[in-house]
Structure 1
Amino acid sequence: MSKNENSKKEGWQASIPDESLDPGQHKRRKAGKSDKGGTPSPVVWHTLHADEVHQRLETNPKGLSAEQADERLQKHGPNQLAQIKRRSAWMRLAMQFHNILLYVMMGAALITAFLGHWVDTGVLLFAVVINAVIGFIQEGKAENALEAIRNMLSPHATVIRGGQTTEVDAAHLVPGDVVVLGSGDRVPADVRLFHARELRVEEAALTGESLPVEKSTDAQPADAPLGDRFGMAYSGTMVVHGQGRGVVIHTGKHTEIGRINQMLVDVRSQSTPLVRQIDKFGQMLAVAILLVCALTFALGTFWRGNAPADMFMMVVALAASAIPEGLPAILTVTLALGVQRMARQNAIIRRLPAVEALGSVTVICSDKTGTLTRNEMTVQRIVSANHVYEVSGVGYAPRGEITHDGHIVDLETDHALALAVRAGVLCNDAHLYREDKAWKVMGDPTEGALLVLGAKAGFSQDLGEQAWPRLDVLPFESQHRFMATYHRNTDDKPWIFVKGAPEVILDMCEREYANSDLAPVNVDQWRRMATDTAAVGLRVLALACKQAAPEGDGLGFADTRSGFFMLGLVGIIDPPREEAALAVAQCHEAGIAVKMITGDHAETARAIGAQLGIGVGKPAVTGAEVAMMDDATLRSVVMNVDVFARASPEHKLRLVKALQGAGQVVSMTGDGVNDAPALKRADVGVAMGMKGTEAAKQASDMVLADDNFATIAIAVRQGRAVYDNLKKFVLFMLPTNGGEALVVIAAILFELALPLTAAQVLWINLVTSSALGMALAFEPAESGIMKRPPRPPGEKLLNGFFVWRVIMVSVLMMAGALGLFLWEYEHGTSLETARTMAVNAVVMCEMLYLINSRHIYDSVMNREGLFGNRYVLLAIAACVPLQLAFTYLPWMNTVFGSAPLQPIDWLKVLGAGLLVFFVSEIEKFVIRHTGLRKRLLGA
């Protein structure tokens, strides 16, 4: 090989194409110029003609030789996606213990072990292990998203090498190989097509396009979006019709799917708001407990002169009273209950913290096709020469009517409309059928919409084919953009029907059918009506016919050149789900912004958005425009625009990052592999269960079993309820632990006899507090929960109000328990009896305060507040015999140092509990009826 030839070969090998450049870069690179005056830039393949592609890759339609293929395979490596380096299972498991909350629990376990309470130690360590195992399993699932993308690659490929067609392992494909594509094939690499015959490729997983894309061999503009590069076929997409041949230009990591795979590797999952808050809360609580214990030990030892050993045991009791042993358990149970509730509503949670994260979402970014829409093409408008008709009903169910000016049209008198409907049914290759009480279409969705229209008009496909049997057909071809069929009616008269692009059909027509008469076709009027119909987001098809037989033995293109009369235009769209519109309105009422990010065309996206109440009165932004914006500009734009069209994977990822950069908590929905990076990056990734790819599901936090946007709104409601219940538990737990701690601190500071021993504190915390608090996990969602705005993303778990409530209730519990203990002890009651009364006083306060905690601000002094949660009543009922056992069983008296009480003593204990209950209700009344709530929340 000469030096010049070697240089030429190295040139194409170095030209790793980049299909995600901004338009300015595309123009420079197509011209062979660098961005900054350096080496030549990569080739933008979709802008080149087929012969240019062959020339640049030094190949031809007969393909590479075996020697050339082997040489290039050595140079470029196999057509595979790189395997990521995974952490070992042991390392992933060890990292699950790196959590401040688990540190606190393990510290509590050490304390209980030091005290010799081995059962308590075992329970705490069990909870630690369970939490770690759950995290370990969920992390392993997240890594499977990358494996799912790799599984989309075709294992085999049909190639032409040395003029011979052969099948090879797809991993052995190289740039310059000529591949053969047929219906049912998965495209094995990124290919520039040079031959396409009726080739249609399903690219929804990569581009979000709702219908298969008709391919051609034409070059496209440099700034054409991925879905509009009709001369390209991309790795991992599926051929659904026709045949084609093309030159491999990208393999392995350089393919579109390879770039998405790399994006997924680079994207880091966001922790949920709750996890971040619990981490901060755990750190603050751990530091606070250690500081209080150290300060108390120092004061007791150096100020009061107590023996260090005695003070250490007292501090152990203080720490035991302050550590929230029940928090991890209640967190897990509350989230698990949320998972069950959401599963009953078709929302399958894959990561436990996502339950709560849904409740804090401020922005929902939704795909259009199948999520906001039905994914069932529907005729909504028919345009004839004289009238515009509206068609009611949505989806494939043949229920609806054709109306004009609000009146149902009689097709027996409107011959032009009847013939147009008949043309749509007869010139059709789809099939409408019913299965499991659902109507479905086999074939092209657009043709299916015409069949449904016919059924609504009383003209079924089966009857039509019997009365007007098809004798021949010219199938749809992308280069001709129409379909034609030849029939004979019941009178044995010949008819030819055509349907296709309006501009193509108009060229065939000489007359139009108007008011049952034939008149010269008004081309300008029809074009204007087609433009008006397309402007509202409808896909437009034209229908025409002529009463004639083919000139030859069969139907040929010569029979479609002229002589037709125009019947009408049909406007078709994938309509919004009725429930989705209500869900969008509900989200708006809840202060949640809804943004549509789709791969579909801008006009269609705007039309659907307007029907759903998304982006009304605002412009739509395309992916090409997003590519031109810097990050700062995009952050500003994304907050003010709600519809984004022709969006690529990079655009979707950038939009999610921009929203997060603006301080939003983002939920992203998607179904394709192109959505996987954005799903992983979002605070809550939501994948489609019915039509979603495995890659999307594995990258998500939640899967919609019914692919319905309304399910997201239901899940948000449940997420908010979960967070409410967690707040209620924290507001219940901290004051009870705080009250116990204040009792111990007061006794130490004032050199009093210790009202609660360490063993008694652990009894209260592990047996009563946790059991009582667990009932709050079953709290139903409060009325009006979806009328509240989302909580601020940076809101602290311990805001000013929480601090106030914790201090107030802690002091009340301390006053009731310590006051009762001192009163009894000063009046000659034994230490054991006084302590037993203090323990029961704390538990009584907890029981009644549990009822208070059902509503954070609202009163519980009503039937719903007192009896609305049966689990609260059951928890209280379960604690009563436990406390009776603690008080009266001799062996319990021995273990815990308790003593039996008299009936009058129980009245005193009840009085301590009622003090907490009524003061808490008064406090809520004051906060509700003054501006104190707002000031506390802002503190």
Structure 2
Amino acid sequence: MDIAGNSQTDLEATDWHALSPDQSLARAESRIDGISSAEAQRRLEDWGPNSLPEPARTSPMRRFLAQFNSGLIYFLGAAALASFMLGHVIDGAVIASVVMVNAVVGFVQEGKAEQALRAIGHLISHQAIVKRDGQRTSVPVAELVPGDIVLLEAGQKVPADARIVRSRAMSVDEALLTGESLTADKSSTAVAAKSALGDRTSMVFSGTLVKTGQATVVVTATGQATEIGKIGGMLQEVTELSTPLLRQINRFATRFTRVMLVGSILLFAFLVWGRQFEWSEALIMVVALAVGLIPEGLPAVITITLAIGVRRMAVRHAFIRKLPAVETLGAVSVICTDKTGTLTRNEMMVRHVFAGNAQVLVGGSGYAPEGDLTGAQGGPDETRIAIRELALCGLLCGDARLEQGENGWSVEGDPMEGALIAFAMKAGLDPSHERREWPRLDEIPFDATHRYMATLHRSPEGGHVVFIKGAPEVVLHMIGNPAVSKQWAELISAAAAGERLLGFATKRVDYSVKALDPDLLKTGIEPLGLAGFIDPPRPEAHDAVAQCRRAGIGIKMITGDHAVTALAIARLIRLADQPRAMTGTEIEQLDEEDLLNAVEETSVFARASPEHKLRIVKALQARGHIVAMTGDGVNDAPSLKQADVGTAMGQKGSEASREAAKMVLLDDNFASIVAAVHEGRTVYDNIRKVIAWTLPTNGGEAVIVLLAILMGFTLPMTATQILWINLVTDSALGLALAFEPSERGVMERPPRNAKAALLSAFMLWRVLLVSILFAAMSLGIFFAALDTGRSVETARTMVVNMLVGAGIFYLFSVRHLRAGPATLQGALGTKPVLLAVGAVVSAQLIFTYLPLMNRIFASRPLSISEFALILFSAAMMMLLLEGEKRFMHRLGWFEELRAVKP
């Protein structure tokens, strides 16, 4: 077969991992001493360089201008222009400033996919050692071609996807592709054609790191055809979704604009033809009224509320890269989470030990040498001796070191060997002492081909001893005892599902044996037992999962690990009542419609590739879910970008995953995601409180002015007084709501409907009711003052204070939108609320009594009785609203009120 006649895609379709080394060389039209330089150049021209294409970059100016593409921003821009045209320079400047601040914040916060692609490109090494023309030489990685023979050693990055032809004791860190922290043992032995990516032990992949050993490999794919290149291609194709809040704001702005436009036209027509106003005068009045209705401070307060949420989340170890993600977290209905290091500690530990007739459960968590050995069967002396011998074997037959630092215990070396050291310490052994007492004389290192390790030691009691550890079936074969095989088979079946097992054995030899040889291990091997390992769940993961389930948030574990192991962890943390698992191979057999049903019913997705993860996220979104997705490897980048809230790991995460994500967990902890969701719900509640407070205050002013225009009576407030009210209340009282703490039961209610309108039925009812109450009480105060002989200036001053006072008392009501028993804290308010109230009261006293302010705003000093009337009226309004809220709660008219748990 002529390789020149095949495209890169044809080669990619080959199941290289299922071919033998000789078949792989033949398929690639190569040989063990490499292709010629001329042939390499020809292939380079045919297939192109071994590099990823530079992503298309968006200019900074275009990114900045994109921040203005919003319905509310268009409306605010028109309002600013109208304000300037009418001579309301201050109003126009405030609105324009709000628009500009929002644009700058969005521009600064926004991360781009091109950064993620550049981060992926950095993972590829720069030089590779190859064989060409029968000679060993170094070439730039970009010049590698399919068929090249590459020589790999420990510490090198794999420069391209390749099939192993020869190897010795080779292991590769593939975490960036599979998400698994344990290194993958590699060999030249072919595996099944349908093997998942993590099971293709005869392959190495571009960007991964060789940890141990050496190998000779034949390149099978370069550039975009590599596994890492495919991820870059998927990342380019993913389109980021708008956040639920932005969609709600845009819908609100569109509808608000339509209502304002229709209302303005009708009012203009009435004034011109019904009241015989000059058209220019009517236009000024209509535009002034429209500008007065616009909640120009709302975007700024929303931005500040989101920023406060960012600060609160940072305290809880969640760093927000994109500001709208703060609120999106509050709408999350499904969390797709990795297993290793997120739900688990990413620290192996011995969980069960089977030695002699003893079956022991090992307590503790992770590498910390703390925990009891319980559940022993058999005599105490027999159990103690059997456990000690196995622990000693695990301690001495390994090269790892366990160390205690500022951040706790950690392992230098193989994680499973570190877990054996911790187990030995739990069994009462001192590693330093035992290593001195049992000096090592020789060893057979672990190799993927023979799957065991053996060490020769001088015994303190005389003679030499060989300790062996390895795959249970390999150790059993070395023992060669049918009775032991039967016993171990029973022990293995009794082990907890999902544990990784190691077998242990020993052999005593005389002083003449100074070196180890595999032939020495063919006879006389005595069994010591088995040990089962797990990566234990984080202590806080169980509670965090339970909190999610109470909050109506589904959890999907998506991992590169095996299904049995993942299911074991899922059961330990109660991911679901009866968690079900599905493998990547099974996902590939489903069409899109079947996958939509499967994602709802399945809790664990194992052996998942980047394509699988992306399909799962898209299927959940197609079902209407708001999805948070965690990941740490390059393989997670496409699904992180696709998710509504992509969440990368701050400690072990790759640069590509962090660039593609909207949030980064500083502690890689699932509990921090749940804490962030809690804060996200609080942020959304506070945004709605700001809206529920802002719209009625503006609405009350608009109703007063509109009635005065329609009915022809004296305006109860001048234009400058309206500006004063908006300046004082919006800048102080409205902003205070951004600092509100979480309401009771914030994580006891189901996720909100992301498609719901920003103004729900209850919110719309509240806006209309409070606007009418504000207007009615203010007009009542105004006409009562005029009827008792007070001047228009005094009456207007009372109206201004009435509106501000009503805003203060309404603030205490709107702090708890959901019905519930009144509390002392609710009545007193938080520190920001009290500071805001104090500032507004001080400002109103200055407005009312300072002579300079009397001249500027035509205000007049008020008597104590006049202030008492205003305060009494405002307090009655708040009591009326609290009564209305509880009445509605009992009737169950609004979903928001029904959702509250008493």
TM-score by length of 1: 0.93
Task: Name the structure 1 match of 2:657.
Answer: 696
Contact 1:496–1:549 at 8 Å: present in 2 too? no
Q: Which range moves more in the overlay, 900-909 or 609-618?
A: 900-909
Deviation, structure 1 residue 91: 1.2
- The CA deviation at 1:320 is 2.6
- Kindly tell me: are residues 858 and 667 of structure 1, through their superposed partners in 2, closer, same or farther at Cα, counting changes over 3 Å? same
CA shift, 1:412, in A, is: 8.3
Residue identity opposite 1:527 in structure 2 = A
Q: 1:916 to 1:673 in 2, by over 3 A?
A: same
Aligned length: 899
**Which stretch of the first structure deviates more once superposed, 651-660 or 116-125?**
116-125
Is the CA contact 2:812–2:829 (under 8 Å) kept in the aligned structure 1? no
User: Of the candidates 454, 466, 471, which is equivalent to residue 496 of structure 1?
Assistant: 466
Q: Distance in 2 between matches of 1:338 and 1:745?
A: 38
Structure 1 pair 9–499 and aligned structure 2 pair: CA distance change class (3 A): closer
> In structure 1, what is the equivalent of residue 574 of structure 2?
613
Identify the match of residue 685 of structure 1 among 624, 628, 646: 646
Partner of 1:557: 518
Distance of 1:681 and 1:403 partners within structure 2 = 46
Structure 1 residues 267, 543: closer, same or farther in 2, change over 3 A? same
1:757 matched to which residue of 2?
Answer: 718
Deviations 1:267-321 (A, max 9, x none): 0112221111111112222222222222222212211222323323322331232
What is the letter of the counterpart of residue 258 of structure 1? G
Contact 1:296 1:745 in 2 (8 A): no
**2-structure distance, mates of 1:865, 1:196:** 70
The 1:411/1:330 distance shift into structure 2, 3 A limit, reads farther
* Structure 2 residues without counterparts, runs of 5 or longer: none
Contact 1:411 1:457 in 2 (8 A): no
Q: CA deviation at 1:861?
A: 4.6
SS for the counterpart of 1:596 is strand
Distance 1:851 1:151, change over 3 A: same
Deviations 1:15-43 (A, max 9, x none): 4444xxxxxxxxxxxxxxxxxxxxxxx42
Separation in 2, partners of 1:935, 1:921: 15
Instruction: Determine the structure 2 residue equivalent to 1:921.
Output: 882
Give 1:934 shift: 4.1
Give the letter aligned to residue 571 of structure 2: A
The residue number in structure 1 matching 2:2 is: 8
1:153 aligns with 124
For the 8 Å contact 2:504–2:527, the answer to whether it is kept is yes
Correspondence for 1:21: none
State the match for 2:175 in structure 1: 204
- How far apart are the structure 2 equivalents of 1:412 and 1:386? 8
The 3 A distance-change label for structure 1 pair 551 and 290 is farther
Offset of residue 154 of structure 1: 1.2
Report whether the alignment pairs 1:843 with 2:804: yes
Aligned to 1:597: 558
Query: Secondary structure in 2 aligned to 1:414?
Result: helix
Q: In structure 2, what is the equivalent of residue 247 of structure 1?
A: 218
Tell me, in whole angstroms, the C-alpha distance in 1 between the residues paired with 2:24 and 2:820.
75
Change (3 A) 1:823 1:14: same
Answer whether contact 2:56 2:114 (CA < 8 A) is retained. Answer: no
Give the distance between the partners of 1:808 and 1:192, measured in 2 at CA: 72
Q: 1:338 aligned to 299, 302, 309, which one?
A: 309
What's the counterpart of residue 492 of structure 2? 530
Give, as a single letter, the amino acid of the residue that structure 2 aligns with 1:242.
Answer: G
Partner in structure 2 of residue 802 of structure 1? 763
Superposed CA RMSD in Å reads 2.0
- Structure 2 residue aligned with 1:723: 684
Identity, % of aligned pairs? Answer: 47
Counterparts in 2 of 1:344 and 1:390: CA distance versus 1, 3 Å: same
AA aligned to 2:769 is M
Indicate if the aligned counterparts of 2:111 and 2:660 stay in contact, CA closer than 8 A: no
CA contact (8 A) 1:509 1:521 kept: no
* 2:502 is the alignment partner of 1:545: no
Deviation (angstroms), 1:698: 0.8
Which residue of the partner structure matches residue 705 of structure 1?
666
1:674-711 superposed Cα distances (whole Å, 9 cap, x missing partner): 01111111111111111111111111111111111111
Q: Which residue of 2 aligns with 1:474?
A: 444
Question: Shift in Å at residue 562 of structure 1?
Answer: 1.6
Aligned to 2:894: 933
Cα distance 1:719–1:854, how it changes in 2: closer, same or farther (>3 A)?
same
Instruction: Pick which of 115-124 and 603-612 moved more.
Output: 115-124
Q: Deviations over 1:323-370 (max 9, x none)?
A: 011211111111111111111111111111111111111111100000
| Preserved CA contact (<8 Å) 1:852 1:860 | no
Partner of 2:416: 446
Distance 1:411 1:344 in 2: 51
Distance 1:15 1:53 in 2: 16
Per the TM alignment, residue 859 of structure 1 is displaced from its structure 2 partner at its CA by 5.6
Relative to structure 2, which stretch is displaced further, 768-777 or 605-614? 768-777
8 Å Cα contact 2:567/2:579 also seen in 1? no
Amino acid at match of 1:654: R
- Post-superposition shift, 1:164? 1.4
C-alpha distance 289-531 of structure 1, shift in aligned 2 (>3 A):
same
Indicate whether 1:436 and 2:406 are aligned: yes
Q: Is the 8 A contact 2:626 2:644 kept in 1?
A: yes
2:640 is aligned with 1:676: no
Q: Which amino acid aligns with 1:680?
A: K
Cα distance in 1 for partners of 2:834, 2:631 equals: 43
Decide whether the 8 Å contact of 1:521 with 1:566 is kept in 2.
Answer: no
Structure 1 Cα separation of the partners of residues 267 and 686 of structure 2: 33
- Report the Cα distance in structure 1 between the residues aligned to 2:233 and 2:329, rounded to whole angstroms: 27
Give the CA deviation at 1:440: 0.7
State yes or no: 1:229 paired with 2:190: no
User: Does 2:839 correspond to 1:878?
Assistant: yes
Q: Does 1:256 align with 2:209?
A: no
Question: Which residue identity does 1:902 align to in structure 2?
Answer: S
Mapped partners of 2:22, 2:701: distance in 1 = 84
Match of 2:266 among 282, 288, 295: 295
Structure 2 matches for 1:67-82, cutoff 5 A? 67-82=38-53
Distance 2:682 2:466 in 1: 62
- Contact kept in structure 1, 2:120 and 2:656, CA below 8 Å: yes
* Aligned residue runs from structure 1 range 124-163, under 5 A: 124-163=95-134
Q: Which residue in 2 is equivalent to 1:654?
A: 615
Match 1:855 to one of 816, 833, 847:
816
- Residues 258-273 of structure 1: matches in 2 within 5 Å? 258-273=229-244
Change over 3 Å in CA distance of 1:102–1:406 after alignment to 2: farther
What do the CA deviations read for 1:810-848 (whole angstroms, capped 9, x no partner)? Answer: 100010112222333355433333222222211111011
Secondary structure of the corresponding residue to residue 217 of structure 1: coil
Provide the rounded CA distance (Å) in 1 between the counterparts of 2:525 and 2:594. Answer: 53
The equivalent residue for 2:848 is: 887
Q: What one-letter code is carried by the residue in structure 2 that aligns with 1:337?
A: I
Contact kept, 8 Å, 2:109 with 2:321, in 1: the verdict is yes
Which of 694, 697, 704 aligns to 1:736? It is 697
Q: Which amino acid aligns with 2:870?
A: V
CA distance in 2, matches of 1:275, 1:504: 59
Match of 1:36 in 2: none
Could you say which residue in structure 1 is the equivalent of 2:25?
Answer: 54
Give the whole-Å Cα distance in 1 for the aligned partners of 2:20 and 2:853: 90
Distance in 2 separating the partners of 1:595 and 1:151: 31
Between the aligned partners of 1:65 and 1:278, the Cα distance in structure 2 is 63
Q: Which position in structure 2 is the counterpart of 1:517?
A: none
Distance 1:835 1:868 in 2: 29
What's the TM-score once normalised by structure 2's chain length?
0.97
Show the counterpart of 1:628: 589
2:736 is aligned to 775
| C-alpha separation in 1, matches of 2:211 and 2:897 | 62
In structure 1, what is the Cα distance between the partners aligned to 2:523 and 2:330? 62
After superposition, the Cα gap between the structure-2 partners of 1:550 and 1:691, relative to the gap in structure 1 and judged at 3 Å, is farther
Counterpart Cα distance in 1 of 2:801 and 2:780: 13
Matched, 1:64 2:35: yes
Question: What is the aligned partner in structure 2 of residue 395 from structure 1?
Answer: 366
Q: Tell me which residue corresponds to 1:379.
A: 350
Give the distance between the partners of 2:319 and 2:511, measured in 1 at CA: 57
Secondary structure at 2:339 match in 1: coil
